[in-house]
Structure formats: structure tokens, C-alpha cells
Structure 1
């Protein structure tokens, strides 16, 4: 056991002191601070500058009410008497951000054409279009002789309630909060496995390429060495995640946000966080063993990426199915896939977070996941012990067979 801790601590300290780790952590922390304060940053660079739009009103009556609504939506309108061609030239020269030409259609209702150098900016024309639509509604109501009370009645939304008949079904508010948490944790699990799983494979391949592995294998049992690498990298990743969380928490506090309310997690039961932790750890362990075993089969660090690509594709597939499942958690496809061990950490957690899952399904999923991990550890230790002693051109299936044969000797 002492050798296991020795490998884990050595891996942890080595990765923690690496320049790449320190630089990546620092850059990510800066990005987190930037995202948490994105609004003040945007305002600092743009100031209070509004888009300036010139208006040619051929109706003689639409500019006044339109200007009031546009000013409320942070758009500065200026009525001009220039000819249309002259106004377009002024837009090209940068005097105006855009030109709005107002007219009436055959039914006497507002119509407009918006000119700009490019139509990349969607916000300004969309705001003007909404304002004109409101004016059109008001004019149509006036033509029909409708009163303000009648217009207000027509504008009322249809009373529509969603009622769940299941006894333990989540309310709409709980579903929205759960969906936010599920999405965040699915994305975190996805990034966690891809980033740190690759780190495990690279760590094993680096030591193997330097021939240090031959000494380690003779003094440390393969299972202890395998788990020492996995736990060491896991500690590194948890350290980095803790730093990210602390920076994000402080940044949100500084910007005046209530963290749990900002994340929409203030009404969720504690059980969902427990399930999140369980599936997060089991998913990491499942994929970490695969990454470590594949890393032991390559002789050069540059061969790591091709070797671990099949496992990465499994992670990507699980994440894509989970994204589909966010809107259809009860579909037969998602339900069936949630029992596949390589998809279960994401999909079963998704189902638990969004729908009522029978206890036996959760137990069966955990049993299958635990059995798969145990099998991978048993099989992986054999491959790992032989694989770290193999050198030469990589051939995954052939190398696995050869690694097991070396272990038996």
C-alpha cells in the first residue's frame, strides 16, 4: 500500500508543478473572471454608445411613436429629409449606422426597408421590426374600432397549465433547475474525462518512453501502479477544479450575484448532488482505467492520441446522446442506453435528475457499472503489466494479446 501512495503522490506532485498545468489553470481562471463580469467589460469598451439610425418617413406619422419605442430600446433615431440615395451614401461613409425608410402598404399599414453596410448586426433591425409590429397592431385595432381594454384582452396569453399525474413527478420549476444542474455536470464530466483521461495515458507513455517504467514494474505491483496513476491524476484534476470553483464563486460574489440563485440550484434536493458525485466518480474511474491501459501499449508519446481516440469517441457519443436526452429523457433510446456501462454515468444521472426512475433500475445500472469497472481493472492490470514492457509499432488488438501473454510468463 505504501508503494501505491508513493506512485499517487509522485504523480500528483509532478503534474501539479508542471508549467503546462500552471499556465492552463491561470488562463482558465482569467476566462472565468471575464465571463462572470462580461457585462461590465462590454460596457467598458463600448460605453453608452447607441446605434444611430437615420429615418426617412414617407408617411409623415410613424416617426414620432417609433422614436419613443426605439429610444426606450437604446437606439437613437434621427429624422432626415435627404433623398434616399444621399442617405445611403451617408451610411456607406459611416455617418449613420443604418437607414430606415418608412412607408405604408396597400392596406394603409406600416412597411419599412432597413439599409446598412452589412446585415451582420441582427439586434438593431430586430428591435425596429418589433416596434413597427406594435405600431401596426395599434393601427389595425384603431381601424377596427377596438378599445384599449379589448386590445389588452386580445393580448392576454392563453391560460395553460401543465399538471403531472405521477405522484413523485417534478414540478416545472424543479425540472428547470434540475435541467440546469444536469447540463452543467454532464459538461463537466465530459471535459473532465477528456482532459484528465488523456493526461493519464500521456503520463504512462512518457514514463514508458524514458524506460523508467521497467524499474517501476519490477518494484510496484501493476494494480497498485495503475491506481496510483489514476488517483494521482484525479487529485490533480480535483485541485484544478477546486481552484476554478473558488475563482468562479469569488467572481460571482464580486459582481453581486447570488451563486446558487445564479445557477438556479436553490430548490434541488440533496439526493441529486449525491447521485451526481457517485456517477461522476464511477464514470471517471471507468474511463481512466481504459486510458491508462491504452497508454501502456504505446511506445512514444506522439502515439497516445491515436490510441485513445476510440475511448474519446465513446465519451463524445455519450455526451451527444445526453444532449438529446435533455429534451427527451423518457425516450426508449435514452432509457436503453442508460444501462450501457460506457454511457450510464451520463445518461442514468440525466434520467434521475429529470424523471422518476425506479430504484431497481438505478441499482441495476450501478451493479452493471461496478461489474464493468471490476472487469476492466482485472483485465487492465494484466494488459498494463505486459504492455509497459512492449516497444515497437502500435497495433491495439495485437498488442493487447501480446501484453496478456507477457503477463503469464
Structure 2
């Protein structure tokens, strides 16, 4: 057991002290800081001036209501009535005196229309705002022409009452579903990134040790099972260190903004969901990591060059990508047949069964069965992985094919 802790400690300290860990952690922390202060950063780099829009109103009646609507909806846009010719207005836009020019007129049905001129039409948000406000004016004019009472029009445009009520008393409400959906999405994303990043890290670590011929010494001083799981848990602690730093920094930065914190947490259902969903999140996250980490360690032991590690773990990457895609598509239809079936496939269970647990009220036996199958698969992979690991770490030369599993197993038998 002492050897286990030595290998684990060595794996953890080596990774935490590495330049790649420090650089990626710092870059991510800077990104989190920028994300939580995005509005402040935008304000710093912006000149603070409003977008000046020149308006030529051929109708002499559209400018005033349009300017009032724009002023109420967007403080960053200011409309100015241009009294000179259209050609001079276009020239003023070209010389950047104005951000754009709008030519207001009416069509044959006496309804508002506009022509928008700008040096570049790539700024779609500005165009969309102006188009929306002009659409409101068109609706108003069309209503007056049709003789429709404004109160009647307001009633027509009022959103329809559409209440959703589940007849099953155990079913989740719409509010509970929205809260669960946010937590499920966070869990899916974290598990996906953890498996991709740290699974690759495990495979690369094993390949690195083999390329430096250190593996023969390590494997002779500790059993392959000890070495493999010390490596898996050591890298897991590295990942946990980063996750705690990221979540802690994000929480500290967001907490400084009280309103933003409440809105963000409310959107993702954090703090208002039942404790069981958090427990299931931890269980499926840990089991999912162990499953894919064991597979990554086994596959990584088959290669002796770092550049071959990416290729050998490609099947594992495909599995987690497929599971992620199925789970994301299941956010809108968690009770679909294919979601239920795939939730019992061990390589998909951590994501898809957690999706079902979070979004639906499913029988306990289904959860227990999926966890049992998942744990059983991890045990089988651990047993098989230990054998492959024992022979694989002594397998040198160019090897980037799963056919090398047979060679690794044969070497493992000889070692016995």
C-alpha cells in the first residue's frame, strides 16, 4: 500500500508542478475573470459614444415615432434627422460622420418601408434593432388602415395562456425540469471535458514513462494493478485541483455581483434543486471517470511513443463523444425510447442515466441496474486492464493498433 501512495504522490506532484498545468490553469482563470467581467471589459474598450444614424424622412411623419421607439429600447443608438440631400448623407456615412443612413418612405399601400446604407452591413445587431422598431410602426399603420381598435390589437397580440400540468403526481413540474436541465447540462459538460482531457493525460503519462524506459523499474517494484490505479487516482486529483480552482474563482467573482449571482444560479437551478440530484451527479461523475480512466490507462500501456497515444485512445474518444451527443439531444426528450435503452449501456450510462435521473422520476431499480452494470464493467476493465497493463508496459516498438492487446496479454502470462 505504501508503494501505491508513492506512485500516486509522484504522479500528482509531477503534473501539478508541470509548466502545462500551470499555464493552462492560469489561462483558464484569466478566461473566467474575463467572462465574469465581460460587460466591464467591453465598456473599457468602447469609446462610450452612441451610434449616430442619419435619417432622411420622405414622409415627414415616420422619423419622430421611430426615434422615440429606438430611444426607449436601445440607449446606444441615436437617430438624427438629416436635412440635406441623400448623396451628401451617403458621403457623410462614407466619411464616418454617421454609422449608417436610413431612408424612410412608404410603399404603394402607404405602409412604412426603409433603405439602410452603411459602409459595412456586418453589424447585424444595429440593423435588427432598427428593423424591429420599423416593424412596430408598420403594424400600427396597418392597424389604423384596417380600422382595428388598438385595444383589440393588444388583446390579439397578448400571449396565449398555455398551462402544462402533469397528471402523474410524481412527475416533475416545468420549473423543476428547467432547474434540473441546467444542472444536468453542467454535469454532462464537466464529465465530457474531464474524460477527454484527463483520459488523454493518463495515456500520455504511461507512454512517456515507457519511452524513457522508467516503466521496467516501476513495474518491477509495484504490481501493475497498484501502478495503474495509483496513476488513475493521481491524475484524478490533478483534475480535482483544477476544477476546485476554477469553480472557486468563478464563484468568488460572481458572488461579488449579487444580481448576477442570483440570475445565474436561478438559471442553472443551483441551490434550489433536491439534494438527491447532487448525490447522483457525484456518483455518476466518479464512476464515469473511473470507467474511462481505466480504459485510457489500459490503452496507453500499448504504445511506447507519446505521438501514438492520441491514435490508440481514439475509440474511447468516439465513445464519450457519442454519449455526449445522445445526452444533449435527450435534454428535450428525456423519455424517448433510445435514451432509455442507451442509459443501460455502461459506456453511456454516466451521462445518459444521470440525464434521466435529473429530468424524470424513474424507478429505483433502473438506477440500481445501471449502476450495477457500470460497476461490473469497471471491475472487468480493471481485471483485464491489469493483465494488459502488465504486458503492455513491456511492449515496445511502434504500436498503435488494438491488435496489440493479444501481444500484451501474451507478455502478461509470461511475466507470471
TM-score normalised per structure 2: 0.95
**Does structure 1 residue 280 correspond to structure 2 residue 285?**
yes
Unpaired runs of 5+ in structure 2? none
After TM superposition, which residue ranges in structure 1, 4 or more long, deviate above 3 angstroms? 144-148, 259-264
Query: What is the CA RMSD across the aligned residues, in angstroms?
Result: 1.4
Q: 1:126-205 alignment to 2 at 5 Å?
A: 126-205=128-207
Q: CA deviation at 1:39?
A: 1.1
**1:120 corresponds to:** 122
**2:61 corresponds to:** 61
Query: Are the counterparts in 2 of residues 98 and 117 from structure 1 also a CA contact under 8 Å?
Result: yes
Specify which of 249, 261, 264 is matched with residue 258 of structure 1: 261
Query: Are the counterparts in 2 of residues 294 and 308 from structure 1 also a CA contact under 8 Å?
Result: yes
Query: Are the counterparts in 2 of residues 37 and 255 from structure 1 also a CA contact under 8 Å?
Result: no
1-side partners of 2:91 and 2:303: how far apart?
65
Name the stretch that deviates more: 226-235 or 41-50: 41-50
2-side partners of 1:150 and 1:300: how far apart?
74
Q: CA deviation at 1:148?
A: 3.7
Query: Are the counterparts in 2 of residues 36 and 255 from structure 1 also a CA contact under 8 Å?
Result: no
Q: 1:382-397 alignment to 2 at 5 Å?
A: 382-397=387-402
**Does structure 1 residue 314 correspond to structure 2 residue 316?**
no
Query: Are the counterparts in 2 of residues 297 and 394 from structure 1 also a CA contact under 8 Å?
Result: yes
2-side partners of 1:155 and 1:48: how far apart?
36
Q: CA deviation at 1:25?
A: 0.5
Q: 1:265-304 alignment to 2 at 5 Å?
A: 265-304=270-309
Deviations for 1:193-214, whole angstroms, at most 9, x for unmatched residues?
A: 1111111111111111111110
Q: CA deviation at 1:261?
A: 3.4
**Does structure 1 residue 52 correspond to structure 2 residue 64?**
no
Name the stretch that deviates more: 343-352 or 152-161: 152-161
**1:214 corresponds to:** 216
Deviations for 1:83-130, whole angstroms, at most 9, x for unmatched residues?
A: 323322322222211111111111111111112222211111111111
**1:6 corresponds to:** 6
Name the stretch that deviates more: 177-186 or 382-391: 177-186
Q: CA deviation at 1:150?
A: 2.5
Query: Are the counterparts in 1 of residues 12 and 235 from structure 2 also a CA contact under 8 Å?
Result: yes
**1:226 corresponds to:** 228
Aligned length: 409
Query: Are the counterparts in 1 of residues 303 and 396 from structure 2 also a CA contact under 8 Å?
Result: yes
1-side partners of 2:326 and 2:50: how far apart?
43
